[in-house]
Structure 1
Amino acid sequence: MTPFVVLDALAALTASGTVLLLFGQWAVPAALPCAWVACLAVQRAYEQHCLRTGTDEIRRVVRAAAMVALAASAAWLLPSGAGLLHDTLFALPVAVVLTLTLREARQARIRSGWHRGRDRERALVVGPPASAAVLISFLHRTPACGLEVVGVCGTVDEAVDSVRRGGCDAVIALPGPALGAAQLRTLSWELRERDVDLMLAPVLADVATGRLTLTPVAGLPLMELHGPDLSRLSRVPKELADRVLATVGLVLLAPLMLAIAVLVRLDSPGPSLFRHRRVGLHGHEFTLLKFRTMFQDAERRKAELAALNQYGDGAFFKIAHDPRITRVGGVLRHWSLDELPQLLNVAAGQMSLVGPRPLPRDEADELPEEVRWRRLLVKPGLSGLWQVSGRSELAEEERVRLDLNYVENWSTALDLRILARTPGAVVRRTGAY
């Protein structure tokens, strides 16, 4: 935890230095760094499980700021208390912003693998093998979670033995017949003595924390699962933002799109735009626009290349080195520039900036009925979870799972996170072919 203590102290020192430069007072610079770190410690901001990013960390930092402000308010009774309170209230917002920024930067370095796992929490999974395998695959797909699985145990006794031998910071318990209330209570006491966190995995996976609420009923802590909020009213801000941003994007990118259109026409015979019917909101079809990246006879040659389809003999069709792609088309696909005309679809209200992948009718019909209608509850998107998670390198089942994950857990915050990750996914070019 030492790096976080140092970062928090640095944030407080910077805020204090600002006060010193502006007002020339030494009281706050002398007291704030120690008081800031102490209040964060009181709010349990240095416990291992509290160092994962999220709203809990923000609440702890804000509560620590409230504690410092309350202590400074008590100084109002002193002769120079007004000045002390003024300086403290000036420095606190700076300290809060810098603390959260430095903590996030530190966590980003850890998640990026620069520390080769030395600062990641080592987790032991206990539960049925099948459930453990699913959980581990989830954690591997999301390295930003900060957890590294170091072992799997089938029973509590095995987990206790592993914990006693050391080597883990947390234990993740999965629902199963071998994990009753008595076993979990025994495990929690054993972990308490060794300062190891115990985390209980829910039965449902791919559920955003915002949809879960811990509700006490008859003395029992019951987990309440809220349904997805996909009402028309909740989508109004998203609709407005989509159309405004798409229109602005079209204006700014018009010269680039015009240049691409000319290059496509010069590279091979045929139109600049490729039009294809796709299934949109509530099953209504629309014409999706893309820059043409293949020769005109691409559809006719599809049958002769069927054996190379990486998705087998299903409706999904993708080839890693497709000979039907033109020279310019290969560059456009590499940088996802062929998708730019879809801004017209977004501006027209047929698509969204973020959403599930737009499917042709034949591919949509291949999906199970329940999966198909759930995907159609929102508009398809120009970007989405699967696009920023590996694109064409993902298996078909994984792409469908990510699309459903988006629909079930949609929120404005999720859209913003996906949009923030989209440029990085384009630059990495993972699965872009």
Structure 2
Amino acid sequence: MAPFMAMDALAALMASTTAFLLFGRWLSLVALPPAWVLSLAVQRAYEQHCLRVGTHEFRRVLRAAGLVVVWASVAWWFAPGSGILHDTLFVLPLTAAATLLLRTVRHVRIRAGWPTGRSLERAVVVGPARSAANLISMLRRNGTCGLEITGVCLTDPGRADGVVPDRVTTFGGVADTVDAVRRSGCDAVIALPGPGLDTGDLRKLSWELQAEGAELLLAPLLADVAAARLAVTPVAGLPLMELHAPVVSRLPRVPKELTDRLIAAGGLVLLLPLMLVIAVLVRLDSPGPALFKHRRVGQGGREFTLLKFRTMYQDAEQRKAELASLNQYGEGGLFKIVDDPRVTRVGAFLRHWSLDELPQLLNVVTGRMSLVGPRPLPPDESCALPEDVRRHRLMVKPGLSGLWQVSGRSELPLEDRVRLDLSYVENWSTGLDLRILAKTPGAVIRGTGAY
């Protein structure tokens, strides 16, 4: 944490020097840098787990700024002629901005996959093999989490083969956890609930990890639950985890729907020349209309006509039966083929860059779809899903982009696609929509699973 402390102190010193040159008061030059670092330390901004990618560290910086203002106000009360409050209010925005910039740069470096040095936290996972494998897979899909899994200690080590992903060391059982921490030099242990890991084991493990300078993180029983929906509630002296209900009512979503339609309408105006060019290319490449119309299931089970640029030959539906053996999803309702022979040359290009999706902006403008949501499915594919899954997916409007589209698209197994759609419905928030929209251009450029 020393590099972060040194850079924060340097930022405060530079801002204080500016105030000293302007106002000629030395008190802020001497007092602000240590006060700034101390206030960040009070807010626990230098603990290893606080340096993970996320919004919590930004909140800590803002709370630290408020704490410095309180200290300066107290000092001004006893020494009103010192100008300490004036200088602090002048210097503090510059200092906080520099500190936030430092953390923002680190976020960008992690998102871009650049080296971040030792600030990337390393962890060992403890728990059942299947749960550990699911957690590691989830963390790998989200490369911006700031966590690197160095190994696992399993309650069922005999099941590690074929379950634990490659390049992840199996250190043994629960009793080997502390030794695994020493060998891997990790910062944290993530404990997963399951047989063989009771409260006594966790209490003993927390004591042992404290002596090693590592922290213990407990994963919730429910996966894919947003942190904003979880809260610790003390009941009879016991810390119980409260799970808030998902936001599915229409009223909180009114701003989302208005924003969706305005952005989609603006996008249609800007992209109209490109869409006209694509329409001409589709018509020249193969016989048939430029637009493909297909029935899809929308919110509440109401069907609508989805619009896309045609990417297949006109006899694609008639050839579907003869290609059923190539379906990557087996005999289920979902149908997808790698290197589908029914796709035209222009269609393959449009699919790779997701340009065939542009006419769906019309569906967004008319209120049938949203910019972000579960993927709209045809009636037969929707009916192939379990009843409870289908009912939950249809609680919100389908989207032009979504969680599984920015997580690998068609390369994801069917169960992961369904799980991500349900996770979006249960954990929806404006912030989640913004994160998905921010990731969408990168997913389009990478082209992973676009076929």
TM range (shorter): over 0.9
* Alignment equivalent of 2:249, drawn from 210, 222, 231: 231
The equivalent of 1:47 in structure 2 is: 47
Preserved contact between residue 352 and residue 381 of structure 1 (Cα < 8 Å): yes
The equivalent of 2:443 in structure 1 is: 425
| Deviation of 1:420 (Å) | 0.7
Q: Does 1:318 align with 2:317?
A: no
Preserved contact between residue 52 and residue 147 of structure 2 (Cα < 8 Å): no
Q: Secondary structure at the match of 1:101?
A: helix
Residues 350-365 of structure 1: pairs in structure 2 closer than 5 A: 350-365=368-383
Q: Does 1:286 align with 2:304?
A: yes
Residues 98-247 of structure 1: pairs in structure 2 closer than 5 A: 98-110=98-110, 112-115=112-115, 118-153=118-153, 154=155, 155-165=173-183, 167-247=185-265
Per-residue CA deviations over 1:267-294 (Å, capped at 9, x if unaligned) read: 2221111100000001000000011111
Q: Does 1:94 align with 2:94?
A: yes
The equivalent of 1:382 in structure 2 is: 400
Structure 2 residue identity aligned to 1:344: L
Preserved contact between residue 295 and residue 306 of structure 2 (Cα < 8 Å): yes
> Sequence identity, in percent?
70
CA distance in 1, matches of 2:408, 2:20: 49
CA distance in 2, matches of 1:20, 1:302: 76
Q: Does 1:348 align with 2:349?
A: no
Distance 1:224 1:21, change over 3 A: same
| Deviation of 1:316 (Å) | 1.7
Per-residue CA deviations over 1:365-396 (Å, capped at 9, x if unaligned) read: 11011101000000000000011111111111
| Deviation of 1:301 (Å) | 2.1
Structure 1 residue identity aligned to 2:144: A
Preserved contact between residue 109 and residue 115 of structure 1 (Cα < 8 Å): yes
Preserved contact between residue 352 and residue 450 of structure 2 (Cα < 8 Å): yes
Distance 1:130 1:234, change over 3 A: same
| Deviation of 1:249 (Å) | 1.1
TM-score (norm 2): 0.90
* Alignment equivalent of 2:279, drawn from 258, 261, 284: 261
Q: Secondary structure at the match of 1:144?
A: coil
The equivalent of 1:248 in structure 2 is: 266
The equivalent of 1:337 in structure 2 is: 355
Q: Does 1:402 align with 2:403?
A: no
The alignment yields a C-alpha RMSD, in angstroms, of 2.1
The equivalent of 2:79 in structure 1 is: 78
Distance 1:117 1:308, change over 3 A: farther
Preserved contact between residue 53 and residue 146 of structure 2 (Cα < 8 Å): no
| Deviation of 1:329 (Å) | 1.5
Preserved contact between residue 52 and residue 121 of structure 2 (Cα < 8 Å): no
Q: Secondary structure at the match of 2:144?
A: helix
Structure 1 gaps of 5+ residues are none
How many correspondences in the alignment?
Answer: 432
CA distance in 1, matches of 2:35, 2:310: 62
Distance 1:26 1:202, change over 3 A: same
The equivalent of 2:63 in structure 1 is: 63
Q: Secondary structure at the match of 1:143?
A: coil
CA distance in 2, matches of 1:21, 1:256: 55
Per-residue CA deviations over 1:225-246 (Å, capped at 9, x if unaligned) read: 1110111111111111111111
Distance 1:21 1:238, change over 3 A: farther
Preserved contact between residue 309 and residue 317 of structure 1 (Cα < 8 Å): yes
Q: Does 1:415 align with 2:438?
A: no
Per-residue CA deviations over 1:40-65 (Å, capped at 9, x if unaligned) read: 12221111111113343123212211
Distance 1:23 1:362, change over 3 A: farther
Q: Secondary structure at the match of 1:278?
A: strand
| Deviation of 1:30 (Å) | 4.6
Structure 1 residue identity aligned to 2:381: E
Structure 2 gaps of 5+ residues are 156-172
